Amino acid sequence: MNILVLIKLVPDLVEELTIDAGGTTLDMTWLRLIINELDDHAIEEAILLKERGEASVTIVAPDVEGVDDVLFTAAAKGADRLIKLTGNFTEQVNNHALARAFTSIIKDLNPDLVLTGVQAHDDLDGSVGPLVAGYMGMPYVGYVSRISLSSETATVHKEYPGGVIAVMEVKLPTVMGIQAAEQPPRYVAVSKVRQAMKTATIEERTVDELDLSGGVTVSRMFQPEISERATMIEGDEEQVSARLIEIFREAGVL
């Protein structure tokens, strides 16, 4: 069983985000890139599947700052193969371009299962998983939180709101968008990662051209207004209640 995990790195929201001078993209100067959290779950799910049965896990990532560390950490967790896509991967590459780049690897490696995080917080033109499925003509199920494999099919738990789960059966090969691995991503000791840096190798594949079509042009990027303190709601309990009801509605809760 050949499992492929597609991962990408996203801006770390711990740092303050700023818009660049052009006003349409993020300023990359102080940005730190970290692995997309749900891709980390995808790696974990893949390793769990490997631990349960005969499977080999390959991780594929675009070559951006910090990707080596991420790949070696995956190796320390048990990933068998690490592939880095080199090319003009500035962080402004959109998901369509990334998905197209991933399809070339998928065509080469012919995996049974392709896992990736169901979304990332910097997604602006859709999500990588279903895009890849669309380009490859493979089936796709998203919001998956449990997978069990047999030779031809996968049975998955698909999450709906309110704790409802739909059990779906999918024919392999398929792409899946992971919402949560069956256990939280494991901790891997720094010593093990350092050792992986010595023993594991990262294969490089060049991607010649990146086709960025598929997104929608951003005319303006901006930050929402942040108020320093809470907006105080005045009035007696009737008036305050009424205003709170409005707020609940705006939040989509009523």
Partner 1 sequence: MSYDVIKPIVVLLSLIIAGLIFGLRVYQLLWVNLRRGQPSNPFGQWSERIKGLIVFVGAQLRLFRFPIPGIAHFFIFWGFMLLSLTILQAIIEGLLAFMKPNFVLPLIGNFGPLALIQDLFILFVAIAVVYGLYVRLITNPERYKGSHKSEGVMVLFFILTIMVSLLVMNGIRINLGEDPIQYWRPISLNVGRLFTGLNERGQIIIGEVAYWIHLGIVLAFLTELPGGKHFHVVTALPAVFLRDLEPPGRLPPTPEFNGDFGVSAVEKFRWRQMLDFYTCTECGRCQEVCPAYNSGSALSPKLLMMSLRDNLMERGEALSAHSSNNVDKPAILERSLVGEIITDEILWACTSCLACDQECPLFIEHVTPIVDMRRHLVIEGRLDTQLQDALSNLSRYGNSFGQSERMRAKWTQPLQPKIRDARREAVEYLWFVGDYASYSASINDITCTTAEVFQTADLDFGILYDAERNSGNDVRRVGEEGLFEMLAEKNSMALSKCTFKTIVTTDPHSYNTIKNEYPINGNGHYSVLHYSELLDRLISSGQLKFSKQLGYKVTYHDPCYLGRYNGVYDAPRRVIEATGCELIEMPRNRDRAFCCGAGGGRIWMEEGEVKERPSESRIREAAELDGISTFVVACPKDLTMYRDAVKTTGQEDRLVVKDLIELVHEAL
Partner 2 sequence: MNQDIFVVIEHLRGQVSDISYIMLAAARALAQSQGGRVLGILLGHNAQGLAKNLAADQVLYLDHPSLADFTSDAYQRALASLITEQAPRAVFFGNTSIGADLASFLSAHLELPLLHACHSVTSEGKLISQICGGKIMTESDLANTMTLVTMIPGGFKSEEGQSEKPPEVTSMTTPALENLRVTLKEYIEPEVGDVDISKEPILIAVGRGIQNQDNIELAEGLAKALDGVVCASRPVVDQGWLPSTRLVGKSGKKVKPEIYLTLGISGAPEHIEGIVDSKLIIAINTDPSAPIFDVAQYGVEIDLFDLVEALTEKVGQAKG
168/197 with CB nearer partner 1: 197
Query: In the range 7-66, which residues lie near partner 1 by CB under 8 A?
Result: 14-16, 30, 32, 34
Which listed range, 51-59, 122-130, 185-193, 235-243, lies at the site for partner 1 (CB under 8 A)? 185-193
Interaction residues for partner 2, span 183-242 (CB under 8 A): 213-224, 227-233, 236-238, 240-242
Residue 31 binds partner 2, judged by CB under 8 A? no
**Quick one: 191 or 201, whose CB is closer to partner 1?**
191
Q: Which does 184 bind (CB under 5 to 8 A by kind): partner 1, partner 2, none?
A: partner 1
Q: Pick the binder of partner 1 from 17, 48, 64, 188 (CB under 8 A).
A: 188
Q: Which does 110 bind (CB under 5 to 8 A by kind): partner 1, partner 2, none?
A: none
Q: Report the C-alpha gap between 12 and 35 in whole angstroms.
A: 9
Could you tell me if 146 and 181 are in contact, meaning their C-beta atoms sit under 8 angstroms apart? no
Q: Site for partner 1 (CB under 8 A): which residue of 28, 193, 212, 221?
A: 193
Phi-psi region at 87: left, alpha or beta (left = phi > 0; alpha = psi -120 to 50): left
Size of the residue set binding partner 2 (CB under 8 A): 83
Q: Which two tokens stand for residue 88?
A: 């003009």
From the list partner 1, partner 2, none, which binds 221 (C-beta under 5 to 8 Å, kind-based)?
A: partner 2
Q: Which two tokens stand for residue 207?
A: 């991607």
Stretch that binds partner 2, among 66-74, 138-146, 183-191, 199-207 (CB under 8 A): 138-146
**Which CB, 118 or 196, lies closer to partner 2?**
118
Segment contacting partner 2 by CB under 8 A, of 64-72, 79-87, 159-167, 191-199: 159-167
Closest CA to 14 of 27, 28, 40, 33: 33
Closest C-alpha among 20, 238, 2, 216 to residue 112: 2
User: Exposure string (b/e) for 173-196, b if CB count within 10 Å is 16 or more?
Assistant: bbbbbbbbbbeebeebeeeebeeb
Q: Which residue has the tokens 């990532």?
A: 61
Q: Residues 203 to 232: which contact partner 1 by CB under 8 A?
A: none
The DSSP code for 187 is P
Evaluate whether 98 touches 106 at the Cβ level (below 8 Å).
Answer: no
Out of 55, 61, 106, 132, name the contact with partner 2 by CB under 8 A: 132
The partner in contact with residue 72, picked from partner 1, partner 2, none with C-beta cut-offs of 5 to 8 angstroms by kind, is none
Classify strands 2-6 and 165-171 as parallel, antiparallel or unpaired. unpaired
Q: Which of 42, 47, 159, 181 binds partner 2 (CB under 8 A)?
A: 159
Amino acid at 164: V
Backbone angles phi, psi at 177, to 5 degrees: -100, 115
d(CA 172, CA 205): 25
Q: Judged by CB under 8 A, which of 65, 169, 203, 204 binds partner 2?
A: 169
